[in-house]
Structure 1
């Protein structure tokens, strides 16, 4: 894996290694006049359980990672798994099964960049380095310059989305979105695939933090999680404000 492993704690396991982005995070901070507030992206980095800890099948990965220059938007998904899993015991096996399923579908690796469990633990999804703009396979037509975050579970109508999960999603979004992107605002993205809601080559105005259904004909991320997106946007914006000094 790219990056350096640092010893740290996480809810899902008693001992994990955190991948730090080091200089990669620093490159996102724009030069500013002396005394002007600067967004310190590195201060927003969450603890992330690396692929090694959930036993990702690296030999099964089909292609090397692709990278983009920036992250303009985040797409939120749910994985449609049962919500009764044990965060400590069950999640690594669930992620490994998901990775193998996505590879069988022809997506080369696990499609999502990050997966969050109901306890709020953040897992590294697609390989390539958590501090880099790794191109995922999560949103048909809009994988370029975006990050896919998957909520582990099913958050359809009537389901409750745990607050630790929501807070973790907001923190990833606050961390990964490029400086200058307002988590509460909209961005311009160009579709690369006509199987999305937008014909290939069409410019779409989408929320900087969008649900999968905003770009593709699907119920994902479920009605309950979709209804929580405004809260996630506000929380991400607040986290960024707290990291600007």
Structure 2
């Protein structure tokens, strides 16, 4: 598989996965609700704190999203790649930073700006690497440029968060270090809501789509505690989508127990490009 350059651009070399077995049921449910749910409309908060117009309501309750203008993101240095197809995996990460006690939205905005600055100035990337970021206060923020517009139209913004796999994966960075500690209830609730929204929008089976960074690369990310919570989180996402939890549908992947390569510095949670 083609390795992505450091800036996060790519030439796609992977075909999208076929829809899950229950895709027809999801489509039927959307038609009953008005048919517009495939666009995955969300309540998006802009810089002024106002709800921005989006697509019609989806079948799944959607998270409150803070767009790039809200946290005053820098412009990317190059055009961001948007593929005319959906991702087939949702990759859960942790930021490998301190487990902050500040749960405010102001802290969440500062977190996004700090990560973007590190990715662009230290990693020499075109923009922040991940598509979405969730703070310990449960605030969900748009990451890489054009992410929200791509999700609404069923397309995929290529990020920089999983080495060799960015052309088909959407990444969610969760603030904190979860090697021994458990994420806050606020973060977990928003993570479930966000993944249910993505699965519903992209017609993904949560038991197949939701994975951890270590399922692809040699890294501790998203931390032993959060990684071990993924089966429970898949069940919660399925329930949020109106499905009966069925862990037997989970795709088995090699569980990497370590030893893991040491972190190379701030915000380093393993191979990303």
2:178 counterpart of 1:155? yes
Q: Quick one: distance in 1 between partners of 2:229 and 2:42?
A: 33
Partner of 2:172: helix, strand, or coil?
Answer: strand
TM-superposed deviation, 1:90: 2.3
Structure with more of its chain in helix, by fraction: 2
Q: Quick one: distance in 1 between partners of 2:230 and 2:95?
A: 16
Q: Quick one: distance in 1 between partners of 2:128 and 2:216?
A: 20
Matches within 5 A, 1:100-119: 100-104=117-121, 105-119=123-137
RMSD over aligned Cα atoms: 2.6
2:76 counterpart of 1:76? no
- Structure 1 residues 19 and 225, CA gap change in structure 2 (3 angstroms): farther
Structure 1, gaps ≥5 residues long: 24-39, 187-207
TM-score, scaled relative to structure 1: 0.71
- Structure 1 residues 64 and 240, CA gap change in structure 2 (3 angstroms): same
TM-superposed deviation, 1:155: 1.0
Q: Quick one: distance in 1 between partners of 2:89 and 2:52?
A: 22
Residue of structure 1 aligned with 2:82, choices 67, 91, 94: 67
Partner of 1:115: helix, strand, or coil?
Answer: strand
Residue of structure 2 aligned with 1:91, choices 102, 108, 133: 108
- Structure 1 residues 6 and 221, CA gap change in structure 2 (3 angstroms): closer
Residue of structure 1 aligned with 2:205, choices 182, 197, 205: 182
* Residue of structure 2 equivalent to 1:220: 221
2:82 counterpart of 1:49? no
Q: Quick one: distance in 2 between partners of 1:118 and 1:238?
A: 23
Partner of 1:174: helix, strand, or coil?
Answer: helix
TM-superposed deviation, 1:84: 2.2
Poorly superposed stretches of 4+, deviation over 6 Å? 4-7
What whole-Å deviation, never above 9, does each CA across 1:53-74 have from its counterpart, x for those lacking one? 111112xx12222123112110
Partner of 2:148: helix, strand, or coil?
Answer: coil
